[in-house]
Amino acid sequence: MENLIYLIPLFPFIGFLLNGILGNRFGKSFVTYVGCGTVGLSFLISLGLFFEILGRSPEARVLNQVLWSWIAVDTLSIDLAFMVDQLSVVMIMVVTGVGFLIHIYSTGYMHHDKSYWRFFAYLNMFVFFMSLLVLGGNYIVMFVGWEGVGLASYLLIGFWYEGMPNADAGKKAFVVNRIGDFGFVIGLFLLFVNFGTLSYGELFPKVAHAFESGALSMNSPLMIAACLLLFVGATGKSAQIPLYVWLPDAMAGPTPVSALIHAATMVTAGVYMVARSNILFTIAPTALMIVAGIAALTALMAATIGILQNDIKKVLAYSTVSQLGYMFIGVSMTAYTAGVFHLMTHAFFKACLFLCSGSVIHAMGGEQDIRKMGGLYKKLPITYITMLLATIAIAGIPPFSGFFSKDEILWKAFTFPYAPVFGKVIWFIGACGAGITAFYMFRMIFMTFHGEFRGDEHTRHHLHESPYSMTVPLMILAFLSVVGGFFGVPHIIGEQLGHFPNYFEEFLHPVFASSHNIIHHAVHATHPPVFVEWGLMGLSVLIAVTGITIAYNIYMKKYPALPAKLAEDYSDHYKLIYNKYFVDEVYELLIVKPFYYLSRFFWKVVDVIGIDTYCVNGPGKVIYQFGEWIGRVHNGYLQTYGSFVVVGLLVILSYILIIQ
């Protein structure tokens, strides 16, 4: 299997070429088979790799493949290389598996679109770059995927490019991501200059060795800088403060795109990158704490914005930003497994939620405002049930998947080895955010599916359940959202169930082993008693239930009177949150506008006036004027010449007479 790794990106790439070049001519069924088939094949190979890895002994679970030497100049040598280990195999299964389901779903969702072929070409292109990102054996191949998915995202957000806001949102996504990539690349340079390699297989052992031999101290400024720069890249790609602003706008793309790229896979690339670089982060606790702080703030802030969003996709978008914050809390609390576990469960339930919202939007004829919905559960039963299951999962109700993964993250935050008090602060913020999440997610469910229908008669008439091509992926994803958590059951629950192991942790352990060793040696962590863990778990559930109950009381019983009254009573706070803390406006005012005017100044003043008028045309004019002036002497009048002769004579004579 090792030699087949390259096929995973190759199939979608072929799909992209076929659909992009021939799709327009060969019709929809060709596009469907190529589009879905290639990703399906990639998924099968990913499965094959997974079983190959399972079949090997834990030490031999890293597969490598080098395609060709890509860039080689002097000491810099970068191969086009792949590496499949426990971490990347989990990721690639999620990417190709969820990706495949979303491709299937798209055949229904995009059925009537005139650019059906273009859509699948882009979607294939996305899977191609995403698999490069995940499978790359060095940071540069990861970066190829990293920028490539940004391109796919750009194209897909602006898929309906005739609407200017869509094209705008695509450009915003690309540019904001580029700002993040800028930091990422500088971080890579820093690593390269200091360690001479960017290949995982060489870099990580080198760093670990340098640390063990004492050449690299704990919290060295170099590692803090490198990690934070890498994290700048992650804030762009994975929508964290301050670069999260592109993701809500990215909802302008077709809904399957939101599900695949802006929820399940691409936006989690930052989490994957941090988990991949775990050894670097582990020896830079300050960087970890900064990441955790930003992640916790993001989780909380996005959750509060989610409360007041009325666009069903915007609710989910802010929820994604918030959940990504949880994943970063996980990896930054050195609970790398928990972060990746939440990444996986989130891919299931968030993809499900987005696809369900797509089904709702499909039924509503394009309407996305939940204030105009209501009572849809009768007309869309499958969508309703699957969405409800996924919502329970994200709210963190046991034994749904979200409960296990989110609780594990919060627990690891609570017991953060490097700074226990700081960890507890992060835990507190995370727990608050979890309550808000439960609240706004159920607000969305209640407003969409319950109560009276609030749309117009025409829309009501058209309400229908989606075709099987759309509902079957929903059911599979909902099933995974429900049971996905059992892969990673916490130890204390596992023991109660009769030594039920935490498969996920055991499987991924070798990837993070040296990090765990370092932490183990560096700090003597005290394990709080078991009842604390049980207590916190109970508290989490209680918080989630409280959130749901409040949502029920407000939106099932008192809607719309109470929300309206609350909005009036707290109008300042309401406006602040409703307008997303005016972050976009502040950026516009402080960065975009000044930058634009500075550029205009450079052009109109420095270039046109400063350089051209004064330095280029100026001397030219002076010379011209001088020529004009001198030219008057040669006017052809004998009198003039004569007078010059006389004046000259006088000058010479006076010179001789006076000086001598």
Residue ranges that bind another protein, judged by CB under 8 A = 68-74, 76, 140, 143-144, 147-148, 151, 154, 158, 161-164, 166-168, 170-171, 174-175, 178-179, 181-182, 185-186, 189-190, 192-193, 595-596, 598-600, 602-603, 607, 611-612, 615-616, 620
In this complex, which beta carbon is closest to another protein, that of residue 226 or of residue 380? 226
Residue 214 CB burial class (10 angstroms; 0-12, 13-18, ≥19): exposed
Nearer to another protein, 166 or 345 (CB): 166
Q: H/E/C letters for each residue in 544-562?
A: HHHHHHHHHHHHHHCCCHH
CB of 626 to another protein, least distance (A): 16
CA angle 277, 410, 387 (to 5 degrees): 95
Min dist CB 365 to another protein, Å, is 21
Give 608's contacts (C-beta < 8 A, 6+ positions apart): none
| 341-344 long-range contacts, CB within 8 A, separation 24+ | 341/404, 341/405, 341/408, 341/487, 341/488, 341/504, 341/505, 342/405, 342/406, 342/408, 342/409, 343/91, 343/94, 343/268, 343/271, 343/272, 344/90, 344/94, 344/405, 344/484, 344/487, 344/504
Q: Measured from the CB of residue 28, what is the shortest distance to another protein in angstroms?
A: 18
**Nearer to another protein (CB atom), residue 513 or residue 598:** 598
Nearer to another protein, 158 or 435 (CB): 158
Residue 58's CB: how many other CB atoms inside 10 A? 12
Q: What backbone phi and psi angles, to 5 degrees, belong to 214? A: 90, -5
Q: How far apart are the first and last CA of the chain?
A: 106
CB of 639 to another protein, least distance (A): 37
Q: How far is the CB of 150 from another protein (least distance, A)?
A: 9
- Tokens 């990347």 locate to 88
- Nearest approach in angstroms of CB 472 to another protein is 33
Q: How far is the CB of 623 from another protein (least distance, A)?
A: 10
Judged by CB, which is closer to another protein: 68, or 531? 68
Minimum separation from the CB atom of position 5 to another protein (A): 18
Nearer to another protein, 192 or 574 (CB): 192
Cβ closest to another protein, residue 229 vs residue 312: 229
Q: Which is nearer to another protein, 59 or 74 (CB)?
A: 74
| Distance in angstroms (rounded) separating the CA atoms of residues 118 and 140 | 28
Cα separation of 377 and 564, whole Å?
24
Q: Residue 160 or residue 377: which is nearer to another protein going by CB?
A: 160
Helix, strand, or coil here: 82?
A: strand
- Positive or negative, the Cα torsion across 543, 548, 551, 553? negative
Least Å from the CB of residue 483 to another protein? 38
Task: Look up tokens 């060969």; give the residue.
Answer: 26
